[in-house]
Structure 1
């Protein structure tokens, strides 16, 4: 991301954000300096994104929030062979949610949704791990049709119990 100096020494202008998208929605990288990344994504109803995480040494923690719409948010620890896929509904009224770097994370758009997240590291394609849980979630939560990217469809198949997380 390129920044331009202004006449005021305390302010810089950011170039237009990087935007990637397709029929499922888009992602915009709003800010990326050092290990701080701010992204905003939009997804149409029925889209599932994930589950993803980045392996060491490129671990990436996130804090997320929904700006508009509703999602089911999912996390699981892929290293726990007896693990559970935890989920929770997140809306604009929900506070920020922290995702620990060891967890694979994803979300299902219950409505058209705008979603924002901060990451403490840059995206590293070589370190990305992807897990395909679409069939498991469809069956467990009666979700109906799920739209997946080709990359998410090709993820490592994972079947685990699905449990709703508490509200605290």
Structure 2
């Protein structure tokens, strides 16, 4: 596996070693010993989540505050998404900055997003299936949501897509009024 720190170095792009031939492909999507060795992270994943979305669906920007904060290991098994992680760590020099990466079933790339980031993804293909592991269980009382089109973040969304959100995500708060990660 190849691990590349991104513009915000705590967010890691992970490219598994893929074995392809005329029959198809094989790769280890997660192997704890190699993950720990290559990332130098000592994290344990406790929950797997799987979602299916249609083109234009945006899910996010979600996060949980301590003691229920979640790190995530993300991948797409069908389709293509624009995956976005926003640094919400108050003490971080990159607080308010974000990482945006295309993840797809074709490129097989994964992202590791540590605790202290708000996360969301937009489905670019007709449909997508999205899998992610988390380091803590879902805890609704600790969950927060930053508004998808917050002016402070000034994220440039792909043109030509009608973005659809859940009623819960439509109630997201502005970046500046959201509680930050201590």
Q: TM-score, normalised by structure 2?
A: 0.62
| 1:108-161 deviation per Cα after TM superposition (whole angstroms, max 9, x unaligned) | 0001100111112110001001001236689713433110011111011238xx
| Alignment partners' CA distance in 1, 2:77 and 2:150 | 27
Q: For the structure 1 residues 124 and 104, does the alpha-carbon distance in structure 2 shift closer, same or farther, using more than 3 Å as the test?
A: same
Corresponding position of 2:26: none
| Alignment partners' CA distance in 1, 2:165 and 2:155 | 16
| Alignment partners' CA distance in 1, 2:95 and 2:136 | 29
Gaps of 5+ in 2: 1-43, 177-182
Verify the 8 A CA contact 1:35 1:122 in the aligned structure 2.
no
Corresponding position of 2:7: none
Secondary structure at the residue paired with 1:126?
helix
Structure (1 or 2) with the greater strand fraction: 1
| Aligned equivalent of 1:113, options 128, 141, 165 | 128
Aligned length: 126
Q: For the structure 1 residues 108 and 124, does the alpha-carbon distance in structure 2 shift closer, same or farther, using more than 3 Å as the test?
A: same
Secondary structure at the residue paired with 2:137?
coil
Q: For the structure 1 residues 46 and 135, does the alpha-carbon distance in structure 2 shift closer, same or farther, using more than 3 Å as the test?
A: farther
Verify the 8 A CA contact 2:88 2:95 in the aligned structure 1.
no
| Aligned equivalent of 1:84, options 80, 87, 97 | 97
| Alignment partners' CA distance in 2, 1:123 and 1:134 | 24
2:73 is the counterpart of 1:56: no
| Alignment partners' CA distance in 2, 1:128 and 1:95 | 27
| Aligned equivalent of 2:138, options 106, 119, 123 | 123
| Misfit runs of 4+, over 6 Å | none
Corresponding position of 2:168: 151
